[in-house]
């Protein structure tokens, strides 16, 4: 398997933690997607990471799809429970956490626009999605983190990402249960092994 990656992408980190959980990380060759002369765009027309090439030569272009694929390999816990009700609940948490991260990315992108062209309206919209999303995650933190599924992996990578790209967002103040859980999760071996080196 080949994984086109960037060291700072939270979406890539989820895939890498999932691969470690499943014990298949050693089978995954990492290719720096942004390195000179790479062919990421040929593999994935969206030119995004993570992008995976499986051993059968199939290309998978989205972290959730890649994590589902990894779950079919190796040993380790069921990242996506086989039971349909439990699976749907995990996928719902996963979708919410991705939505919070997507909003954080959009906020960050907006700051890259020229001063004067940045939209306060847009920023407030994304801020609200992050705040309300975190409120919901705070309410559900036990359900999310009660089993070693993709949900806590996704949550840990997302909270780490928020700290990194939006350091002015003090999410801990209003979300003490999330903060306490994250404190216990952030340095676990698979998180430590994939920490962005910044
Ligand atoms: N929904 C996608 C998001 C992937 C994504 O946005 N990756 C970013 C890096 S964090 C990227 O490659 N951005 C480059 C671009 O949009 O051109 C996933 O979960 O894989």
Instruction: From 48, 70, 194, give the residue whose CB has the most ligand 1 atoms within 8 Å, as the site to mutate.
Output: 48
Rounded-to-integer distance, Cα 85 and Cα 70, Å: 20
Report which protein residue has its CA nearest ligand 1's atom 9: 9
Tell me the CATH class for 2-71. Answer: alpha beta
Tell me the CATH class for 84-192. Answer: mainly alpha
The rounded Å distance from CA 105 to ligand 1 centre is 9
The rounded Å distance from CA 119 to ligand 1 centre is 22
Q: How is residue 10 written in tokens?
A: 């939270």
C-alpha distances out from residue 189 to 27, 138, 198, Å: 18, 24, 18
Encode 109-145: b = buried (16+ Cβ within 10 Å), e = exposed: eeeeeeeeeeeeeeeeebeebbeebbeebbebbeebb
Give bridge partners of residue 51 from the DSSP assignment.
4
Domain with CATH 3.40.30.10 in the chain: 2-71
The rounded Å distance from CA 142 to ligand 1 centre is 28
- Spell out, as residue ranges, where the chain has pLDDT lower than 50: none
pLDDT at position 197? 72
Domain with CATH 1.20.1050.10 in the chain: 84-192
Rounded-to-integer distance, Cα 23 and Cα 192, Å: 16
Q: What is the pLDDT of residues 128-150, one digit of tens each?
A: 999 999 999 999 999 999 999 99
The rounded Å distance from CA 84 to ligand 1 centre is 28
pLDDT at position 74? 83
pLDDT at position 37? 87
Ligand 1 lined by 63 (C-beta under 6 Å): yes
pLDDT at position 167? 84
Closest ligand 1 atom to the C-alpha of 48?
12
The rounded Å distance from CA 102 to ligand 1 centre is 9
pLDDT at position 178? 98
Write out the DSSP string of 110-124.
HHTSPTTT--HHHHH
């Amino acid at each position: 398997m080949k994984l086109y990656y960037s060291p700072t992408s939270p979406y890539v980190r989820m895939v890498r933690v999932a691969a470690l959980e499943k014990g298949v990380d050693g089978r995954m060759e990492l290719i720096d997607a942004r390195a000179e002369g790479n062919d990421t765009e040929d593999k994935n027309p969206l030119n995004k990471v993570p992008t995976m090439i499986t051993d059968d030569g199939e290309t998978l272009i989205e972290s959730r799809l890649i994590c589902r694929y990894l779950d079919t390999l190796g040993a380790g816990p069921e990242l996506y429970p086989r039971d349909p009700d439990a699976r749907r609940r995990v996928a719902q948490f996963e979708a919410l956490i991705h939505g919070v991260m997507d909003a954080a990315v959009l906020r960050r992108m907006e700051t890259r626009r020229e001063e004067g062209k940045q939209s306060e309206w847009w920023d407030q919209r994304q801020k609200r999605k992050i705040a309300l999303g975190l409120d919901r995650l705070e309410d559900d933190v036990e359900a999310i983190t009660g089993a070693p599924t993709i949900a806590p992996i996704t949550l840990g990578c997302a909270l780490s990402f928020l700290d990194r790209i939006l350091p002015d967002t003090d999410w801990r103040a209003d979300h003490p249960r999330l903060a306490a859980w994250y404190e216990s999760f952030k340095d676990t071996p698979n998180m430590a092994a994939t920490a962005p080196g910044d």
